[in-house]
Structure 1
Amino acid sequence: MKKTLASDNYSGTTPEIIEALAKANTGHQGSYGADESTEAAIKMFQRILKEDIDVYFTMNGTGANVTALSSVCPSYGAVICSSAAHINVDECGAPEKFGGFKLLTVEKDNGKLTPKDIKPFMVNLGEQHWSQPKVVSITQATEYGTVYTCEEIKEIVDYAHSQGLLVHVDGARISNAAVSLGATFKEMLVDTGVDFVSFGGTKNGLMFGEAVIFLNTSLSENYKYIRKQGMQLLSKMRFISAQFEALFGTDLWERNAIHANNMAQKLAEGLSKVEGVTITQEVQANGVFAILDRAVIPAMQEQSPFYVWNEQTNEVRLMCSFDTAEEEIDAFINKLNQLTSVTA
């Protein structure tokens, strides 16, 4: 089957994860998290983050984001995020529908918020006619493949907390961000003061499953009820937690993310040498954003399917995965060179 540059969701499952699933598929264990794998996975997260956390597993990223935000943001509240945020663009209005709160968005060319972007929303506080800001949500790595430094996250957290706001991290590609920074998860999340995080696994080699982790455990009291209402409580939860235990209990997460990031760097290097191609974002994780000649896009999508990010500018998104091969990158660049020379 043809591999693609469309999304890291297109990739299969890491062989080690398949082995972990097979191992979990023996005998009978308690349901809804009352199993050995879930206990082990929670302890694993406590080792890499801190002891005092609350960990809940969900089936997918949208479910993790929606239930996490809904559990802390009342219906009259608002969540501040980038206009490109997954919760704003790619979740079909689920956060607002199920949470009832409002999204307040900021246009950012690189997808990264700053304290300066948050400040304009700190008005009309206590005014009954206005939605009240309650949470700042940032994506790490962002939807543009850019990465917040630990210092940038701390600046956001410090300002948000000074304004009485909580900070959520959508970490669908958090492993790619960590290896890009050369930082530990503790340095990136705990030491910066983040309150809660949707901790991703699917895009880094899991078959399915994400985790909602409350670093501020005072926020998690009602989450288990919201997760159940949100249809994210899997009865055979061991099949999620066993995957996380295998991914983050070893260096598998790191190996997968390093490879995906390295393939993105290789792709960007190749694209930079093709006449007429403009790379629009700094390549920091496993995604490359570039403007291509509109005439070559259909043929290139035949070579390796990908998404057009901006139809008006012909900006495309090219995503690498744990199983992207160098030969695929070479073939893509060679094909693009051939087509560019013909259309020139």
Structure 2
Amino acid sequence: MSPAIHPALAKLPAPRCSFTSDNSAAAHPSVMAAMLAANNGHALAYGADPWSEQTQQGFKQMFGADSEAFLVWGGSGANVMALVSLLQAGECVVCSDQAHIAVAETGAPERALGAKLLLLPSVAGKIHPEQVAALGRTLGSQHHPQPGILSLTQATEMGTVYSAAELKALCQAAHQLGMRVHLDGARIANACAALGGTLEALRSISLDAGVDVLCFGGTKAGLIGGEALIYFHTEHARRAKYVRKQVNQLPSKMRYVAAQFNALLEDELWLTLAAHANRMAQRLYLATRDIAGLQYAQAPITNGLFPTLPAACIAPLAAWCHFWEWDSSQSQVRWMTAWDTSEADVDHFAAGVRALLQHYTENGNAL
């Protein structure tokens, strides 16, 4: 049974969408149409089809002829595949203490790798080159796992982004220790949109920064489901096709994943959709930042907002329009916009937040 809607919200129009996650959004109509068009007759499996070849060429146009794309089912699987293909015996994976691979993948990397995740303290989800360089003290010691991979998240779990200069410095620090760099780009489109919104901006925070393997997110960017792992160096890609099968990330009817990406890459639709999601987050911030009892540590950079609000208000508001609580110790929540979030959705939600918190304040901090 659904919880009753609070009286302060009962007469307000609820948003058409939730603010749970861009993972909850529908697939873009162009993606649906591309899949339907691909659903005609027989095609060879496992990527030996024209749709998959088109995807490969599309990514080569973006990242250069030496790059190689591997399509997979989902984000966690993509991360596991990348890490397994790069890690060597006796090594560990270094990442932020808020990285998705550390806090939201149920230990999948550790289980698949049989290796340690070494977590570095972060601020707003970001780590710094000095922290990576300090790992040099363990090099050569048989009593310590050797730093093998630096895994970075762009945009971070806190919605922040690394600048091109920051990423380049991190990659340089890692490479000086002989490490490889994996970039978890489940929301790379949103980060790129925030950093200039051009193909040059995308390259500056991936290939040109020194990243070795990029997970180019599709599921959160408008696909039904699918991610692309982009290997920038032939030597790293050599094992990838075997690892993909081994970690259960090889789609048999790959044309359907490829068709989705072809729609997303055409005319840079991925960037258009991400820029819209970012704008909707900014609109929500501007519409709510003056509400008494609600606080932001910073304005949104991408499509995630992380305000704190009175604990008593969280459940009633989420019952009216769903979102996730983020850090209960601080009464912090996460509001996320997506490619299909409309201005009306934002305005309705902001009106609901304002109405509930005003009711709470006017009634002596009680609901």
- 2:216 maps to 199
What are the Cα deviations for residues 5-34 of structure 1, in whole angstroms up to 9, with x where unaligned?
Answer: 011110110000000000111111110000
Q: Distance in 2 between matches of 1:19 and 1:273?
A: 42
Structure 1 position 281, deviation (Å):
3.9
Structure 1 position 75, deviation (Å):
4.4
Q: Distance in 1 between matches of 2:109 and 2:297?
A: 29
- For 1:308, which of 325, 328, 342 is the aligned residue? 325
Structure 1 position 188, deviation (Å):
2.1
**Unpaired segments of 5 or more residues in structure 1?**
none
Question: What letter matches 1:115 in structure 2?
Answer: P
Q: Distance in 2 between matches of 1:105 and 1:270?
A: 36
8 Å contact kept, 1:300–1:336: yes
Structure 1 position 158, deviation (Å):
1.3
Question: What letter matches 1:177 in structure 2?
Answer: A
- 1:124 maps to 138
- 2:39 maps to 25
- 1:271 maps to 288
Q: Distance in 2 between matches of 1:68 and 1:187?
A: 20
Question: What letter matches 2:140 in structure 1?
Answer: G
RMSD over aligned Cα atoms: 1.3
Question: What letter matches 1:210 in structure 2?
Answer: E
- 1:294 maps to 311
- 1:98 maps to 112
Q: Distance in 2 between matches of 1:232 and 1:40?
A: 20
Structure 1 position 249, deviation (Å):
2.4
Is the aligned partner of 1:62 residue 2:79?
A: no
Pick the structure with greater CA Rg: 2
What are the Cα deviations for residues 133-162 of structure 1, in whole angstroms up to 9, with x where unaligned?
Answer: 011111111110001111111111111111
Is the aligned partner of 1:139 residue 2:156?
A: no
- 2:275 maps to 258
SS class of match (2:184): strand
Q: Distance in 2 between matches of 1:321 and 1:151?
A: 27
Q: Number of matched residues?
A: 344
Q: Distance in 1 between matches of 2:254 and 2:159?
A: 31
Structure 1 position 238, deviation (Å):
0.6
Structure 1 position 86, deviation (Å):
0.6
8 Å contact kept, 1:146–1:281: no
SS class of match (1:74): coil
Q: Distance in 1 between matches of 2:112 and 2:298?
A: 33
- 2:93 maps to 79
Q: Distance in 1 between matches of 2:315 and 2:241?
A: 46
SS class of match (2:70): strand
- 1:111 maps to 125
- For 2:53, which of 39, 52, 70 is the aligned residue? 39
Structure 1 residues 96 and 302: CA distance shift in structure 2, 3 A: same
Q: Distance in 1 between matches of 2:54 and 2:319?
A: 44
- 1:211 maps to 228
Structure 1 position 224, deviation (Å):
1.2
SS class of match (1:16): helix
SS class of match (2:137): coil
- 2:203 maps to 186
8 Å contact kept, 1:75–1:100: no
8 Å contact kept, 2:72–2:226: yes
8 Å contact kept, 2:285–2:299: no
- 1:232 maps to 249
Deviates more, 1:32-41 or 1:273-282: 273-282
Structure 1 position 222, deviation (Å):
1.1
Structure 1 position 122, deviation (Å):
2.1
Q: Distance in 2 between matches of 1:213 and 1:259?
A: 25
Structure 1 position 282, deviation (Å):
3.9
SS class of match (1:330): helix
Q: Distance in 2 between matches of 1:78 and 1:310?
A: 28
What are the Cα deviations for residues 64-110 of structure 1, in whole angstroms up to 9, with x where unaligned?
Answer: 00011011113421111111101001110000100112111122131
Q: Distance in 1 between matches of 2:55 and 2:257?
A: 9
SS class of match (1:122): helix
Is the aligned partner of 1:333 residue 2:347?
A: no
Q: Distance in 1 between matches of 2:250 and 2:349?
A: 41
- 2:11 maps to none
Deviates more, 1:191-200 or 1:277-286: 277-286
Structure 1 position 270, deviation (Å):
1.6
Q: Distance in 2 between matches of 1:187 and 1:82?
A: 21
Structure 1 position 2, deviation (Å):
4.9
Structure 1 position 42, deviation (Å):
0.4
Give percent identity, aligned residues only: 40
Question: What letter matches 2:94 in structure 1?
Answer: I
Deviating 4+ runs (over 4 angstroms): none
Deviates more, 1:329-338 or 1:50-59: 329-338
